[in-house]
Amino acid sequence: MVVSRVWYLTRRPEGFPRKDDFTLKEEQLPPCGDGEVIAAAEYVSVDPYLRYRARQIELDTVMTGTAVCRVIESRNSEWPEGSYLVHNTGWRTHTLLKKESLESSSYFGGCFRLPDYHGLPRSLSLGALGMPGNTAYFGLLEICKPKEGETVLVNCAAGAVGSLVVQIAKLKGCKVIGFTGSDEKVSYLMEIGADHAFNYKTTPIGEALEKAAPEKINCYFDNVGGQFTAEALPHMADFCRIAVCGAISTYNDESKDIGKISMTSPYSEATILWKQLRIEGFIVVHWQDRWTEGIEQIKQWITEGKIKYRETITDGFDKVPDAFIGLFSGENIGKAVVKV
C-alpha cells in the first residue's frame, strides 16, 4: 500500500495567493496494474503560470504542477524501478501513472525520461534543462531573433527564464540590459554577464534605459507586462521584436483574468504603429517537437561553462505552497523548486 500526500486547491485565490487556499491531504493509491508504475516525487516545481491555473482548475482537486519522479514500483518493462521521469503529476508525493500517460510525450500530461546529465542535478529538468530553459531558448532565438551587436532588454531577469535569456543573448553577441527586484539580484545579473542591471524598485525604468540604451532596444523579452512595459515601450527601436513570455505583474489582478474584457494595456497602439514593432506572445509547447534540441544545447553550454544556473531550493513537501507564494514577492533567484 502506497500513501501519497497531496496538496489540493480548496479555495480560489483572490489577489495574492495564501497558504490556506490549499489543503494537505493523504490518499491511498490503487495497486499498480499492468503497464503502470508508481512514482515518488523527488523535486516539485513551482512556476508563476500556476497562478492562472489556480483560476481554471476545479476546486477540491489536486493543484497542478510538474515533478521529477523516481519509479518505485513498476509493471511496465519500459520504465523499470529506479527510472527517473518528469511528469505533470501535480503537487503530490506519489503518483500512479497509467500506461497511456507513460507513452505520451505531451508536456502537459505526458512523460519525459531524464537523460544522462553527466553529474548535473536532476532538479535542473524543472529549470534550465526543462520547460524554463526551453522557454528562454526558443522564445529568444525564434521570436526575438537577436543579431550580433543588437541590444536586448529582459525583465524579471534573475528568474528561471530571464537569467537564461540574459546569458543566451550574450552568447549571441548582444548588449544585454536586465531589470530585477533587489540589489542582490542586480549583482547576480552582473555576475552572469549582463552589461547593465537595474533594480526596478529603486531606479526609474525610463531614466535607466535612456542612459543604458541611447541606441534604443532591438529585442525585448517581456516577463512582466503592466507598468514596466508601458514605461519601456518608448525606448524600443524601429522594428523591435518583442517576445511576450509572461505578465507576472498582472497575475494576482483578477481583472486581468483570461477571457475578461479589459480596456487597459501597456502596449500603446501609436508606438506600435510608428515604430513598426513586432509583438508575439508564445507558449513553449509550440516547439514540443524540438524539445530535446533546446535541452541538449543548454546542457552543452552549461558543461562548457558558458551558462551558469541558479536554483532556490526549499526543503520539505509541506512547504510547496510557501515556495509558490514566494514567487510573487521575488524570494527566488533562478528556478524555484521544492525538494520532497
Q: What is the DSSP string of 251-299?
A: TT-GGG-TT---S--SS-HHHHHHHT-EEEE--GGGGGGGHHHHHHHHH
My answer on whether 61 and 111 are in the same domain is yes
Instruction: Give me the tens of pLDDT residue by residue for the chain, a chain 340 residues long.
Output: 899 999 999 999 999 999 999 999 999 999 999 999 999 999 999 999 999 899 999 999 999 999 999 999 999 999 999 999 999 999 999 999 999 989 887 776 678 899 888 899 999 999 999 999 999 999 999 999 999 999 999 999 999 999 999 999 999 999 999 999 999 999 999 999 999 999 999 999 999 999 999 999 999 999 999 999 999 999 999 999 999 999 999 888 776 665 565 556 888 899 999 999 999 999 999 999 999 999 999 999 999 999 999 999 999 999 999 999 999 999 999 999 999 9
My answer on whether 118 and 83 are in the same domain is yes
At 258 the pLDDT is 59
Distance separating alpha carbons of residues 168 and 137, to the nearest angstrom: 7
My answer on whether 74 and 169 are in the same domain is no
| Any domain includes 254 | yes
My answer on whether 140 and 275 are in the same domain is yes
| Any domain includes 257 | yes
Q: With the C-alpha atoms ordered 250, 256, 262, 267, is the resulting torsion angle positive or negative?
A: positive
Total number of domains constituting the chain: 2
My answer on whether 65 and 47 are in the same domain is yes
| Any domain includes 217 | yes
My answer on whether 139 and 82 are in the same domain is no
My answer on whether 177 and 104 are in the same domain is no
| Any domain includes 80 | yes
Contact 166, 193 (CB under 8 A): yes
Q: What's the angle, vertex CA 203, arms to CA 200 and CA 208, rounded to 5?
A: 100
Euclidean distance between the first and final Cα of the chain, in Å? 20
- Closest-CA residue to 314 (of 294, 283, 335, 290): 335
The CATH number that applies at residue 243 is: 3.40.50.720
My answer on whether 23 and 113 are in the same domain is yes
| Any domain includes 179 | yes
Q: What is the dihedral of CA 327, 223, 182, 209, to 10 degrees?
A: -170
At 150 the pLDDT is 98
Contact 80, 39 (CB under 8 A): no
My answer on whether 137 and 25 are in the same domain is no
Q: What are phi and psi of 104, to 5 degrees?
A: -95, 140
- Closest-CA residue to 140 (of 110, 111, 106, 178): 178
At 69 the pLDDT is 97
My answer on whether 282 and 165 are in the same domain is yes
My answer on whether 14 and 155 are in the same domain is no
Parent domain of 317? 3-127+310-339
- Closest-CA residue to 247 (of 263, 266, 262): 266
| Any domain includes 68 | yes
At 62 the pLDDT is 97
My answer on whether 62 and 82 are in the same domain is yes
| Any domain includes 201 | yes
Helix (H) or strand (E) holding 222: strand 217-222
CB atoms within 10 A of CB 171: 13
The CATH number that applies at residue 97 is: 3.90.180.10
At 257 the pLDDT is 64
pTM of the model: 0.94
| Any domain includes 148 | yes
